[in-house]
Every structure is written in structure tokens, then in C-alpha cells.
């Protein structure tokens, strides 16, 4: 949700943004591949989503490019870019409350964070999770963006919660 003015959603495998005040909907992606899991950046000027392109799930970002454009539903133009490293399976992303980090699952076994301003991903937990189906790995940012609460597996058994420090 973008300050309560827009809502992003995936319909039939493509990302759309709709106004909550008016009957306006804008298509963001138009690909033969499937997109899923969508979230806004803190400032509302970017949308993150996972897309299965070239046989691999990656995280993409579509951003407003003109300063005068405030909403996706009425934007003149926007730009898409891949933000997760090429060749790694990446999906189920969440932007931190302060907007500085993007947490996501990498290769179905690892929780990582990526600076939203660019940079390299940082692993929080490796080989302690495994995603069998979409959305089965839960994690949540703390309100101060310093911690991530998540489930994880250790010594062959599931624990209810663990705190990963970002």
C-alpha cells in the first residue's frame, strides 16, 4: 500500500497498481512470465516483486522516474530493474519499516537483507530454512528495523521463533 492512496497487486501473473480513491488501475508489468509477492518502498516511489524469468525467480523493482509523478496510477513513465543478483532464486521480499533494507529468501534456504539504495546482500541465516511452497517461511521486521523475527530449523527440528539481527 502506498500511503493509503494506491494498492499494488498481482492479477493473472502481472503487477497492477490501483487507486483507492478513483476507478484507475495501471498495469506495471506485461510479461509472459509470472510475477508474485509485491510490496512498495517506504517512499512509495518503487514497487518490488518477484518474477520468474529465464527459469529463475528474481526480485525486480519498478520505480517512478519523474519527480513530478507521485503515483503509479497516473505516472507518465517508470523504469524496471533487477535488484537481486543474477542466477540466485529470490522471492518473498519485505521492505524494512525505515525503508533502508529489503529482506527476502534466497535459494529457498537462506534469509538475506539487501540495502535498498544498492549494494550486496548480507546473509542472516543459511541452510536453516527450506521453502516447500510459496509463503511457508514467515519473517517480520521489528518496528525499529534492527531485527527480523523468523522461524528456522536446527538439528532436524523446527523452532517457533529465532531473531536474526540485521
In angstroms, rounded to a whole number, what is the distance separating the alpha carbons of residues 43 and 32? 29
On average, the pLDDT of the chain sits at 86
pLDDT of 39: 94
pLDDT score at 4: 80
Distances (CA, A) of 26 to 13, 63, 66, 135, 153: 14, 14, 16, 26, 41
Instruction: Quick: pLDDT tens for 42-56.
Output: 999 999 999 999 889
Write down the pTM of the prediction.
0.86
E strands in the chain: 6-11, 14-19, 25-27, 35-40, 46-53, 56-64, 78-82, 90-95, 101-106, 110-115, 122-126, 139-141, 147-154, 157-165
Model confidence over 89-138: pLDDT tens digits? 999 999 999 999 999 988 877 889 999 998 888 888 765 556 666 666 77
pLDDT at 166: 45
pLDDT for 22 beyond 50: yes
- Is 147's pLDDT higher than 80? yes
The C-alpha atoms of residue 26 and residue 118 are separated, in whole angstroms, by 27
Amino acid at each position: 500500500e502506498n500511503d493509503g492512496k494506491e494498492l499494488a497487486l498481482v492479477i493473472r501473473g502481472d503487477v497492477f497498481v490501483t487507486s483507492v480513491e478513483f476507478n484507475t488501475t495501471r498495469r506495471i508489468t506485461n510479461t509472459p512470465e509470472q510475477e508474485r509477492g509485491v510490496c512498495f518502498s517506504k517512499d512509495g516511489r518503487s514497487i518490488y516483486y518477484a518474477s520468474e524469468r529465464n527459469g529463475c525467480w528474481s526480485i525486480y523493482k519498478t520505480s517512478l522516474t519523474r519527480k513530478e509523478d507521485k503515483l503509479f496510477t497516473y505516472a507518465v513513465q517508470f523504469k524496471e530493474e533487477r535488484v537481486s543478483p543474477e542466477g540466485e532464486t529470490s522471492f518473498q521480499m519485505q521492505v524494512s519499516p525505515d525503508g533502508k533494507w529489503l529482506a527476502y529468501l534466497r535459494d529457498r534456504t537462506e534469509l538475506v537483507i539487501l540495502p535498498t539504495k544498492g549494494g550486496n546482500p548480507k546473509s542472516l541465516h543459511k541452510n536453516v530454512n527450506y521453502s516447500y511452497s510459496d509463503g511457508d517461511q514467515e519473517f517480520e521486521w521489528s518496528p525499529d528495523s534492527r531485527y527480523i523475527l523468523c522461524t528456522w530449523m536446527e538439528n532436524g527440528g523446527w523452532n517457533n521463533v529465532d531473531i536474526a539481527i540485521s
